[in-house]
Amino acid sequence: MSEQRTILITGAGGFLGRLLAETLLKDPQTIDARLVLVDIVAPKAPQGANAIAVKADLTDPSQADGLFQTSYGVPDIVYCLHGIMSRGAEDNFDLGLKVNFDAVRSVLESARRFGTNTSQPLKFIFASSLAVYGGSLPNVVTPDTIATPQGAYGAEKLMCEILINEYTRRGFVDGRILRLPTIVVRPGPPAAATSSFLSGIIREPLKGVPTTCPIGNSLSSPELDLAVWIASPETTIQNFLNAARIPSSSFMLHSRVVCLPGITVTVREELEALEKVGGKEALRLVEFQDDETNRRIVSSWPARFDNGYALSLGFLVDEGGMAPIVERFKKVVAAGLA
């Protein structure tokens, strides 16, 4: 059954924000939802949708209140997805701090001010990242693993998490914090993320475009055994929808943080899946140029997580390894959406 709700998405013009808006409008439970889509560049509302597109720079605190005062009223659910990616936040510390922390705090504070007048606190769903982990880590990250970020992006995400947990404890919002794996395959131009090549080595060859893999110097390099923690866009977006449906009482008592389920793949396995789906001609489009800095940063991220808690809450995991993910992306390419 569909419920008429108002759903606010910040970063709605981005990769996941756009996909989320489209998926919400197809899902039977949210097909009638009214969407407030916000981005620094005016986002496009999906055709025929009940949607308001708002152009707002959320680093300006005065702009956040307006998102809760549209003709659709106070949102029932906020998806807080705006952000500057890992490399961007590392290279421009001040901008990263403003967008990834200050602007999240503004939206959260507006949600508190406007949301507490409603019968129940609004759901505040936040896209965090595995980049909150760094330094010395166990082989498998569990819900008990302490997050010690080793970069600006991860530090900013962790600060947001702490604030959202506190706002939840106080009943200001009903927070749900999703630590995302790296999402592969991302369409469009390369993102300002150190992990960008994990999508690039699939996306560009399937589009018939040469690309450079910054890990290893040839197909036989041992560096290609570098393992990473990924999830597909489709599964991630389903998990965004699930995040709004989980009863508050199901979460751990002291934290709303959930590491979304992912799978471990090596760079080599990605290339094998590329060959399987795209053939030898696709694989030939991948050149190698080992970038020691890039390899060091990606190697510092955890590649294995215990999915148990997230699965017990009802979140989904990609089945079948890398090949089905690449198969689905091939259809995105064929549809001209890559």
Ligand X SMILES: NC(=O)c1ccc[n+]([C@@H]2O[C@H](COP(=O)([O-])OP(=O)(O)OC[C@H]3O[C@@H](n4cnc5c(N)ncnc54)[C@H](O)[C@@H]3O)[C@@H](O)[C@H]2O)c1
Beta strands in the chain (DSSP E): 6-10, 34-39, 51-55, 77-80, 123-129, 174-180, 182-183, 211-213, 227-231, 257-259, 263-266, 286-288
The angle subtended at Cα 255 by Cα 3 and Cα 108, nearest 5°, is 60
DSSP designation for 271: H
Alpha-carbon span 306 to 302, nearest angstrom: 11
Q: Kindly list the distances between the CA atom of residue 210 and the CA atoms of 280, 315, 329, 338, in Å, as whole numbers in the listed order.
A: 13, 36, 17, 15
**Which residue among 7, 9, 17, 318 contacts ligand X (CB under 6 A)?**
17
Measured from the CB of residue 279, what is the shortest distance to ligand X in angstroms? Answer: 26
The angle subtended at Cα 242 by Cα 237 and Cα 243, nearest 5°, is 95
Q: Which stretch binds ligand X (CB under 6 A): 36-44, 140-148, 208-216, 263-271?
A: 36-44
Nearer to ligand X, 33 or 228 (CB): 228
Measured from the CB of residue 298, what is the shortest distance to ligand X in angstroms? Answer: 13
**Which residue among 6, 7, 9, 13 contacts ligand X (CB under 6 A)?**
13
Counting contacts by CB under 6 A, is residue 11 touching ligand X?
yes
Measured from the CB of residue 57, what is the shortest distance to ligand X in angstroms? Answer: 5
Measured from the CB of residue 217, what is the shortest distance to ligand X in angstroms? Answer: 26
Counting contacts by CB under 6 A, is residue 27 touching ligand X?
no
- Is 72 noted as a catalytic residue in this protein? no
Nearer to ligand X, 168 or 232 (CB): 232
Residues paired with residue 115 on neighbouring β-strands, in sequence order: none
Alpha-carbon span 248 to 66, nearest angstrom: 27
**Which residue among 75, 83, 200, 205 contacts ligand X (CB under 6 A)?**
83
Q: Which stretch binds ligand X (CB under 6 A): 82-90, 242-250, 302-310, 312-320?
A: 82-90
Q: Which stretch binds ligand X (CB under 6 A): 64-72, 80-88, 249-257, 277-285?
A: 80-88
Alpha-carbon span 275 to 284, nearest angstrom: 9
Which candidate in 72, 133, 153, 167 is catalytic?
A: 153
Q: Which of residues 52-71 bind ligand X (CB under 6 A)?
A: 56-59
State which amino acid sits at residue 212: T
Q: Which stretch binds ligand X (CB under 6 A): 78-86, 106-114, 259-267, 282-290?
A: 78-86
Alpha-carbon span 34 to 17, nearest angstrom: 15
Contacts of 89 (CB under 8 A, 6+ apart): 95, 96, 97, 99, 100, 151, 152, 153, 156
Q: Kindly list the distances between the CA atom of residue 187 and the CA atoms of 15, 20, 204, 318, 336, in Å, as whole numbers in the listed order.
A: 8, 14, 9, 18, 10
Q: Which of residues 160-189 bind ligand X (CB under 6 A)?
A: 180, 182-183, 186
Alpha-carbon span 269 to 263, nearest angstrom: 12
Nearer to ligand X, 168 or 196 (CB): 196
Residue located via tokens 């998405």: 9
**Which residue among 21, 37, 103, 173 contacts ligand X (CB under 6 A)?**
103
The number of residues that bind ligand X (CB under 6 A) is 27
**Which residue among 8, 9, 16, 286 contacts ligand X (CB under 6 A)?**
16
Counting contacts by CB under 6 A, is residue 154 touching ligand X?
no
Q: Which of residues 247-306 bind ligand X (CB under 6 A)?
A: none
Measured from the CB of residue 8, what is the shortest distance to ligand X in angstroms? Answer: 12
Q: Give the footprint of ligand X on this chain (CB under 6 A).
A: 11, 13-17, 39-41, 56-59, 81-85, 99, 103, 127, 129, 180, 182-183, 186, 191
Name the residues annotated as catalytic.
Answer: 153
